[in-house]
Each structure stands twice: as C-alpha cells, then as structure tokens.
Amino acid sequence: MDQNRGPHNGGCDVCTGLITVHNGDDRHGEVDYAIEYYSTGHLTKFVKPGAVRIESDDDTSVRNVAWRNPDGSKALIAFNTTDATQNVVVNWAGQSFAYDLPANTTATFTWGGAAAHPVSAGGARLLRCRPARPGGTVAVGRPEQDCERVPGGESPAPVLAVHIGTRAARSPIRTKLLSRRCCR
C-alpha cells in the first residue's frame, strides 16, 4: 500500500498493509514496515504447519500467543505495547525463564523438552524459581489445572503461564530467542 492506503479495491477503509511504500510525497520510494510485518515474520518462522494453539490470555501491556508445534517444541510470541521495559516470566510444566522485554518490541521464545542445565538465550535470564508471587502478575490460564488438548491421543500438557512484572518461579527452560524492536 501507499501512504494513502491505496490502491483500494473496496472493503475495509481503515486496514493497513504489512508495508507502506511512499509514492508522490516527500518520502517518495521509502518503505515503512508495520508491526504486522514483523509479527508475520515471527509466526512464519517459529510456528510450524500443524501447530496447536496453547491456551493463553494476554495482558494489555505484553500481548502474547503460544503454540505447540508437531515436533513438541513450543513457541511464544510476545509484544510489549508499552513505552517501558516489562519483565516477563514464562512458566511451562514446572520450568520457567524470565526476560526483560524492551519497550515496543516483539520477541519470540522457542523451546523443546526440559533443559538439564541453565543456559543463556539472547539475553534471557534463566532462573531456578519458586511459585510466582501474587500481586502485579498476570497468569495465563491455570497451569496446575488446565490442559492443552493434543491430537493423536498424546497426554495433555500444561497450559503456558506468563507473569508480567515479577521474577521467576521454577527451574529453567532451554530457549531460543528472536527479538525485534519495531515501529512507533
């Protein structure tokens, strides 16, 4: 699309494209990349065909969505909507990691099975943890009670828990991290 949201073929009048190519203005030929451009990149790289959505609620300050890929690996995509760094703690199946997500940044975390040893993942602090403290936290699902329904008769797995503004609670998860500062 161009800076005037054109060409327009009808339908949505307020929709935007993944990129904006400036045409006929003082920025002619320049390209702007929308947050959806980066989000699409995160999804297409880390969420594999056949992935199952893992139940999660997001928080207004850190929006997030999680997936379980057919190979058992997990992917969590988180976007900090605020102008301040947010501490994010992710709990999965009795393991956790913490990460300070910079302002207006999208990060994708991926992991497979349990890690035997703490590792560093692109700046993520992987911690031995205790249960998250109440107050200032946002729990995604009820990890002790909720289950993901897995096709093919596999046993269910716990729901992912994301806590905003707390320090971590259990043993580390081996993760890989892709982070991209975005637009404003």
- What tokens were used for 49? 């065909």
pLDDT score recorded for residue 9: 72
What's the confidence (pLDDT) of residue 166? 42
Query: Residues 6 or more apart from 85 whose CB is under 8 A from it?
Result: 100, 101, 102, 103
Question: Which residues on adjacent β-strands are paired with residue 89?
Answer: 98, 163
**pLDDT number for residue 83:** 94
- Per domain, the residue ranges of the chain are 49-181
Residue 39 has pLDDT above 70, yes or no: yes
Summarised one tens digit per residue, pLDDT across range 93-151 is: 777 788 888 998 888 888 885 333 333 333 332 222 222 333 323 233 333 322 333 33
Q: Which pLDDT does position 167 carry in this prediction?
A: 43
pLDDT recorded at residue 149: 33
pTM higher than 0.75: no
> Which whole number is the average pLDDT over 143-166?
38
What integer pLDDT is reported at residue 162 of this predicted model?
A: 56
Alpha-carbon 68 to chain mean position: 13
